Amino acid sequence: MTVTDTARLEQLIKGQAYGLGFDLAGITSLRPASTAAAFDDWLARGFAGEMQYMLRTAEKRRDARLPVPEARSAIVVAMSYGGAEPSGPVARYARGDDYHDILIERLEALHRWIDAQVGRAVAGKAYVDTGPLLERDLARRAGLGWFGKNTNLINPRLGSFFFLGALLVDLELAEDAPFEADRCGSCRRCLDACPTQAFAEPRVLDATRCISYLTIEQRGEIPAELRESIGDLIYGCDICQEVCPFTRKFSRELVEMAFAARPAVASKDARTLARELLAMSQPEFSVAFKGSPMKRAKLRGLKRNAAVALGNVGSAEDVPSLIFALEDPEPLVRGHVTWALGKIGSPEALEALRARLSVESDVWVLQQLESAVGRARD
């Protein structure tokens, strides 16, 4: 090892992590997750919804020693993405560049730095959100925060508007003290504020009711009974974080400008963004959202979400945009546009729905059309 005897490698690692732009850094050993039983119960209750990858990788998630068998320790980091910015139709984390790319690049830089410090190639791997790890479990054990009632990791000096990453390495590093305190107390603002009542109980999220899941992970139809509760949100949701006293007090101004809102979403209200998305072609989408986390929902998913948002907050002025989208090649889009036109219910909207009935060929969309026209008659 090339570090001096008087300098602890752990201190140097954390100092380098801060130098790379991370806001929090801690170290823990790799062992079975303390939350494994809760994770299994969450899966058994069906709260993962369509996220089948959670089931496929469940064994590795239960035991942090399994993803990288050579690894012995985890260096867990957090990077703020602001939080002081105004609310909008796109969750704050998704307005700029893809955080996976940014955090992975810096964790790999940290990995190379460690190689140089110890004088050998250190086996390991960087993970940011996509690997078979329960990152919150590692983060709490590394002293970065506690699990809030909204299931987010909360740090007492940073709130919860931050990304987590972990670098697993084959080094026996001294652990930081875990974060043992629960500072939520009797507060339940996050639970009460959730529009879709997605919390089955404190610290247990039914993802199938969460707006972030519905607008991103859900690939098919958004359940009709939940559409109104989505309001004007088009991609993700920050509500349960916005109402948290710690997050309200300690959220910071955005420093990492890679996370600043790109022109495609910057300063746009829901109606403006929804109309633009409904009119967008695939090539236009690819250019506007290159390197954006919003590409995960794909254009069809964003148009679906845009239609729901206009159904909730739109007016007769938005009907032409919705009528244009009735010609979209995706049945998923046409079905949700139908719902939105029925909700707005203007004469122009109803006329368009009746006209579409005579030419629509998709069975599910026809059902949506008949339902929307039937509601109008009532």
CA distances for 42 relative to 49, 201, 205, 280, 324, angstroms: 10, 11, 8, 38, 41
236: region left, alpha or beta (phi > 0 left; psi from -120 to 50 alpha): left
Note if 115 is an active site residue.
Answer: no
Strands in the chain per DSSP E: 24-29, 73-80, 124-127, 146-147, 153-154, 162-169, 199-201, 204-205
DSSP 282-322: HHHHHHHTTT-GGGGGHHHHHHHHHHHHHHHH--GGGHHHH
Q: Write the CA distances from 154 to 9, 252, 291, integer angstroms.
A: 27, 14, 27
- Distance (Å, rounded) from C-alpha 268 to C-alpha 252? 21
Other C-beta atoms lying within 10 Å of the C-beta of residue 100: 16
Out of 129, 170, 176, 362, the active site residue is: 129
Catalytic residues: 129
